[in-house]
Structures are given as C-alpha cells and as structure tokens.
C-alpha cells in the first residue's frame, strides 16, 4: 500500500540555517531515503513556497497566486512515497525520518478520492 510522508517545515527555518547545517541535513535526508531500499517509491525535496504558484479554476477562469503562501504556518518541504503493508509500518518509518526532529512528518495513505471514507 502506498503512503506519502509529507515533510511540513516551519516557515523561515531553512533561511535560518548555516550552509554547513543545510548540507548536513540534506545529506541525512538522502541517506534516510537510501536506507528504505525497495520500500522507497519516490522522494524529493521541494524549493520553498515563495517559488510556487497556486492554481484554481473557478467558473472557467484561472486564478493564480504566487507564493509565499503566508496563510500557512508551515510549508511543504518535501516528501517520501513509501510502499508499506500498513499504516503502523508507515508511521514507524516516519518516526525514523530525520525531519521528525526539526519539522512535522505527516503520514497519508494514497487512495482514490472516491474511496469509501471509513
């Protein structure tokens, strides 16, 4: 079963790090991903949301909003897509993720949007 581990970082945290600390944290996250072996389906770090655009289409009219998205206290900093037998297994992986020490790791099961809401 696929689970998405979302890394939710406090806004401004990256900018506060030294280059040395930033490189060390990134290397630690890469090593964590590599340690997942065949359970890792995909992973990637994301640029800060000031580089993003939110897109909505209402009444056939596109509405675009450039980042940063200040209504959020956190920004999506990256993700790991993992293949696990259960939610418990995905949560155990999230607990080992280095980001859990300096951010929040949200665990979400991947499923069709019309799946029964149990």
φ/ψ of 82, rounded to 5, equals -125, 150
Domain count, the chain: 1
The reply to whether 24 falls in a domain is yes
CA nearest to 79, candidates 101, 64, 99: 99
The reply to whether 116 falls in a domain is no
The reply to whether 117 falls in a domain is no
CATH number at residue 73: 3.30.70.1060
* Cβ-based neighbours of 113, under 8 Å, separated by 6 or more: none
Mean per-residue pLDDT, 10-18: 91
The reply to whether 19 falls in a domain is yes
Q: Does residue 71 surpass a pLDDT of 90?
A: no
Determine the structural domain holding residue 101 and report its residue range.
2-109
The reply to whether 62 falls in a domain is yes
CA nearest to 33, candidates 92, 103, 82: 82
Decide: 26 and 45 in contact? Cβ < 8 Å: yes
118 band by pLDDT with thresholds 50, 70 and 90? confident
The reply to whether 118 falls in a domain is no
Mean per-residue pLDDT, 18-27: 96
Residue 42 CA from chain centroid, whole number: 11
Query: How would you class 48 by CB atoms within 10 Å of its CB: exposed for 0-12, middle for 13-18, buried for 19 or more?
Result: middle
The reply to whether 80 falls in a domain is yes
Decide: 40 and 80 in contact? Cβ < 8 Å: yes
Residue ranges of alpha helices (H) inside 52-115 are 87-96
What pLDDT is stored for residue 90 in this prediction? 98
Whole-prediction pTM value?
A: 0.90
Of residues 72 and 65, more confidently modeled: 65
As a whole number of angstroms, the distance between CA 41 and CA 77 comes to: 18
């Amino acid at each position: 079963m696929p689970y998405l581990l979302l890394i939710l970082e406090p806004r401004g945290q990256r900018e506060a790090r030294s280059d040395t600390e930033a490189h060390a944290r990134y290397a630690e996250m890469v090593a964590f991903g590599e340690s997942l072996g065949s359970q890792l389906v995909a992973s990637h770090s994301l640029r800060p949301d000031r580089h993003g655009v939110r897109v909505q289409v209402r009444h056939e009219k596109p509405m675009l909003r450039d980042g940063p998205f200040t209504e959020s206290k956190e920004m999506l900093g990256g993700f790991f897509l993992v293949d696990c037998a259960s939610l418990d297994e995905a949560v155990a992986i999230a607990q080992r993720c280095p980001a859990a020490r300096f951010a929040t790791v949200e665990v979400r099961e991947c499923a069709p949007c019309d799946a029964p809401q149990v």
